[in-house]
Structure 1
Amino acid sequence: MYFVISNNQKLYLCLLLIAYCLLLIAYCLLLIAYCLLLIAYCLLLIGCHSANLKKSFISSDCSPLGRIK
């Protein structure tokens, strides 16, 4: 079987492929941003943990809501 593809269809397929690639790139960037956020959160937890272990001058309770009295 032989399929004939017109120039309009070629242009449409090319634009569809470009849109798909851009969507894939955006998804990858979002995934990278999520990983960086996760790493920053882990570093924050490790930093707060070590600050609590060292009994530093700054009272850090490591909770996002702050200390509730």
Structure 2
Amino acid sequence: MASRQFQAAAMSLHPAQVNGFPALVFRSDGEIDTVVALRIDDGLVSGLYAVRNPEKLSHMQSENALRR
């Protein structure tokens, strides 16, 4: 039986603002892997948007860090 070796990617998570929405940007080995944005209306989450399409993510050059 052949042995398989798997190497886990280095993952990181960063808060950001994407298209005016608060978001989380997931990076794998430094590259953007997934973006999840929240739409908030009247203090309630009214939408959740997740993008993993590499073609769409390639347009994201930088994120704006959220500030308190």
TM range (shorter): under 0.3
Q: Between Structure 1 and Structure 2, which shows a larger proportion of helix residues?
A: 1
Which one has the bigger strand percentage?
2
Q: Give the TM-score normalised by structure 1.
A: 0.20
Q: TM-score, normalised by structure 2?
A: 0.20
Larger Rg: 1
